[in-house]
């Protein structure tokens, strides 16, 4: 994901946080940041794949921040992840949306390897124009657990 820059600040009980807008190179996804994501995820300029930056997710959390507009046809989502190795491993989830023909959640999980991995969901058969919600879940309750997310592609 590439950074579009800071768009403002938000003061919470945890202090002031910068609001950042992210976009995906394909421009087929809308990624938003809200209070929940600001608490558990941040821009990470230390590592990325294929390039800096990535997004670092920490703590037991779910990022519900990717809206994927789709048209009828065969669609696939790919996202790269690197994680701390704590179990259970993180996962990416496309939420069910019967209005576009996805009747159940579809998930992908990385192996236990702590190297960068590409997760693929699809091909999905979309029956109508609509939106799919993509969640990224860090499921380990270990305080040292993290996941790095980068390079979302949709076809």
Please check the confidence at residue 110 and state whether its pLDDT lies above 70.
Answer: yes
At 13-23, the pLDDT tens digits run 434 444 333 33
Supply the pLDDT for residue 20: 39
At 27-52, the pLDDT tens digits run 344 454 444 444 578 889 999 999 99
The DSSP symbol for 98 reads G
**SS3 for 35?**
helix
Residue with tokens 């996962």: 91
Q: Which helix (H) or strand (E) covers residue 18, if one does?
A: strand 15-23
The DSSP symbol for 96 reads P
Q: What is the pTM of this model?
A: 0.76
Residues 126-144: b if buried by 16+ CB within 10 A, e if exposed: beeebebebbbbbbbeeee
Contacts of 113 (CB under 8 A, 6+ apart): 85
Strand partners, 95: none
Residue with tokens 């979309």: 126
Flag the least confident range among 30-44, 90-104, 138-152: 30-44
Flag the least confident range among 26-30, 76-80, 122-126, 143-147: 26-30
In SS3 terms, 127-153 reads as CCCEEEEEEEEECCCCCCCEEEEEEEE
Residue with tokens 């990470």: 44
CA distance 41 to 81: 14
Both tokens of 67, joined, read: 């809206």
CA distance 54 to 134: 17
Residue with tokens 């999980």: 109
Considering only residues 34 and 122, tell me which one the structure prediction assigns the higher pLDDT: 122
CATH of 2-154, one of 2.60.120, 3.40.50, 1.10.357, 2.60.40: 2.60.120
Percentage above 70 pLDDT, the chain? 75
CA distance 48 to 35: 23
């Amino acid at each position: 994901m590439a950074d579009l820059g800071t768009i403002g600040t938000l003061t919470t009980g945890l202090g002031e946080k910068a609001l950042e807008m992210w976009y995906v190179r394909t421009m087929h996804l809308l990624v938003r940041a809200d209070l929940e994501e600001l608490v558990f995820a941040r821009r990470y300029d230390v590592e990325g794949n294929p390039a800096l930056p990535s997004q670092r997710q920490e703590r037991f959390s779910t990022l519900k921040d990717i809206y994927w507009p789709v048209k009828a046809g065969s669609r696939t989502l790919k996202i790269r992840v690197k994680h701390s190795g704590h179990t259970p491993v993180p996962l990416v989830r496309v939420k069910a949306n019967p209005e576009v023909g996805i009747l159940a959640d579809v998930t992908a999980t990385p192996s236990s390897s702590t190297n960068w991995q590409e997760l693929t969901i699809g091909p999905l058969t979309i029956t109508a124009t609509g939106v799919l919600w993509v969640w990224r879940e860090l499921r380990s309750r270990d305080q040292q657990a993290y996941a790095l997310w980068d390079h979302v592609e949709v076809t």
